Amino acid sequence: MATTTAAALQDPLGAFRQMNMNQRLTWLAGLAALIALVIVTLMWTSRLDYQVLYTNLSERDGGAVIGELQKLNIPYRITGGGAVIEVPSAQVYATRMKLAANGLPKGAGVGFEVLDHEPMGTSQFVERVNYQRALEGSLGRTIESLSAVQSATVHLAIPKPSVFLSEAEKPSASVLLKLYPGRVLSGAQVAGIVHLVSSAVAGLGDKNVSVVDQDGNLLTSGQRADSGIQPDQLMYRNTIEQQYRKQIEALLAPLVGNEGVRVAVSADIDFAKTESSSVVYGQGHLLSQQQQSTNSSGGGTLPAGVPGALSNQPPGGVTAPFVMGTASAPLTPQQLTQITPSLKTLAPTAASSSATSNYDLDKTVSHTQQPVGSVKRLSVSVLVNDQAKGGKPVPLSAAQLGQMKQLVENAIGFDAKRGDTVSIVNMPFTAAQKEAEKQLPLWRQAWVWDGVRQAVPYVIALILGLMAYRAMRKATSGDVKAKRRKGKEAAELDETAREETPSDGMQKSSGPGAGAEMAASGVPGALAPDTVQLSNTLETDAAISRELVKQDPRRAAQVVKEWLSDGQ
């Protein structure tokens, strides 16, 4: 068999010619199946993997994009009822860059490209209108880049500048958003859109921007309400809670496993901004003492007061004897000396006295500013699963739970004065919860299916190749078996002829001319082997063949061998 297969591989055309009709059909069918399998495999492995290029384009932009793809000789296909344009995954990013260089897709509105080809002599009004259109279109395109926004339309009301401050008006803006089905915008995203629009227009404040969705809902109503809660505050609170939760899970995971603990943290954050100033004096502790006293007295002063009867009063009493001189008899020096004391008592006098005492005490002046975002109170809840021992879940002991609680309190900086609470509960987890938390099984992994998809064509080709090889091997082995069977039959006939040949008289007639001699001698039933007349019936031909074999068995065996060697 090995010799026959090797000969067929060395001379396939000769081997094919020696086959009968059934063998030839089998070989041709196997060859055709192998060629078809190779073609299918090549088509399967070389087929293009398409990826989304653009979605939800307008009819104008979609037509422009398809026309440009045809110019660039890039294969594409349209899916999703005409809403999705796909190109080969290996050319997605390069194609987007090429289309962007050509200004595609342009979008629903116009951008600043409207100012690229303004004719000369354009009036100021037209320039202002074109600038406003360009600004609106540019803002709309920017807002559409958000993942939840399908399309955006921006309207700006920009008043004409005035030289009078009293008549100056502030600009305003309105934004219409069309969201994708099932998508919503958070408060922080709406605030971002409002801030984006207000920052693009000079003099536009956040309060003058209105945002409405496709259902007519005013999205900026919550921004105008003074609720006192800002998105940054909520984000900061979530960050604090997540940080504490990760710390606790990392601390307890080595004890109960990653899947055996669940932690929930609630943090009360103080976002109030507080500033305080205080002055504190020491009690009964005198640092220093200083006293100052001033006394003064003087003679008469000039008349003073309000002019009139109240200030025009006669002088005080005069001490007798007091003799006034006259022009004819002036006072002598002795008389002046006598009346001097009386004159002093008549003159007005002035005196003053003041005292000052200074005391320095212990004084402390402090200015305190409380930090924003401090933790006022923490509440921690920990759920621990039972431990598996001997294949059975065993609950934790009270001592173990107490140790875990102590670890959690130390990890979060437990403070009983501010009202922190820590609760640890040991309960068995349900099987459904464990099953949901397990990783995806191997047969659902994406890489497994990718490998199967790549290997299926080759496996099919291998199976069909083995089937074709088996069919060819079977046909070849059938031919060899038939030849062996004919050889065996010839050997049996030769052995039978030897056994039936007499030992004496028949030896003389064992030569090639024995049959002719028998026929010439007139032996009854003898037939001339060179002149055998066959009939049209199978029984008669079989009887003649048996008679020839009996007459000359060796020659009959030789004829059968020649038949086998000729492939008949």
DSSP string, 260-287: SEEEEEEEEEE----EEEEEEEEEEEEE
pLDDT band at 528; cut points 50, 70, 90: very low
**Is 540 inside a domain boundary?**
no
Contact 220, 193 (CB under 8 A): no
CATH number for position 85 = 3.30.70.1530
Q: Please check whether residues 203 and 116 belong to one and the same domain.
A: yes
Q: Does residue 515 carry a pLDDT above 50?
A: no
Nearest-CA neighbor of 427 among 264, 261, 263? 261
- Provide the 10 A C-beta neighbour count for residue 493: 17
Q: Please check whether residues 27 and 119 belong to one and the same domain.
A: no
Domain carrying residue 265 = 237-273+369-426
- Provide the 10 A C-beta neighbour count for residue 200: 16
Q: Does residue 196 carry a pLDDT above 90?
A: yes
pLDDT-wise least confident of 362-371, 487-496, 501-510, 527-536: 501-510
Q: Please check whether residues 175 and 254 belong to one and the same domain.
A: no
**Is 199 inside a domain boundary?**
yes
CA-based angle 133:137:140, to the nearest 5?
A: 140
Share of residues in the chain with pLDDT > 90 (%): 14
Q: Does residue 172 carry a pLDDT above 80?
A: yes
In angstroms, the Cα distances linking 439 to 55, 144, 261, 288 are 33, 37, 17, 80
Structural domain ending residue among the three candidates 45, 61, 84: 45
539/300: higher pLDDT:
539
The domain total for the chain is 4
**Is 480 inside a domain boundary?**
no
Three-state SS for 455? Answer: helix
Q: Please check whether residues 57 and 175 belong to one and the same domain.
A: no
Structural domain ending residue among the three candidates 426, 442, 458: 426
Q: Does residue 522 carry a pLDDT above 60?
A: no
**Is 331 inside a domain boundary?**
no
pLDDT band at 508; cut points 50, 70, 90: very low
**Is 413 inside a domain boundary?**
yes
Nearest-CA neighbor of 161 among 195, 202, 107? 202
**Is 434 inside a domain boundary?**
no
pLDDT band at 117; cut points 50, 70, 90: confident
pLDDT-wise least confident of 269-283, 293-307, 395-409, 515-529: 515-529
Q: Please check whether residues 170 and 62 belong to one and the same domain.
A: no
Report the range out of 90-99, 325-334, 473-482 with the highest average pLDDT: 90-99
CATH number for position 396 = 3.30.300
Q: Please check whether residues 74 and 125 belong to one and the same domain.
A: no
**Is 439 inside a domain boundary?**
no
* pLDDT at 105 (0 to 100): 79
* pLDDT at 432 (0 to 100): 42
**Is 287 inside a domain boundary?**
no
Q: Please check whether residues 88 and 138 belong to one and the same domain.
A: no
pLDDT band at 264; cut points 50, 70, 90: very high
- Please report which residue ranges of 209-350 form alpha helices under DSSP H: 221-224, 231-256, 333-346
CA dist 113 and 201 (Å) reads 18
Q: Please check whether residues 133 and 216 belong to one and the same domain.
A: yes
Q: Please check whether residues 268 and 383 belong to one and the same domain.
A: yes
Q: Does residue 246 carry a pLDDT above 60?
A: yes
Q: Please check whether residues 251 and 387 belong to one and the same domain.
A: yes
* pLDDT at 343 (0 to 100): 60
In the predicted model, what is the mean pLDDT of residues 414-438? 77
Q: Please check whether residues 152 and 176 belong to one and the same domain.
A: yes
Q: Please check whether residues 179 and 63 belong to one and the same domain.
A: no
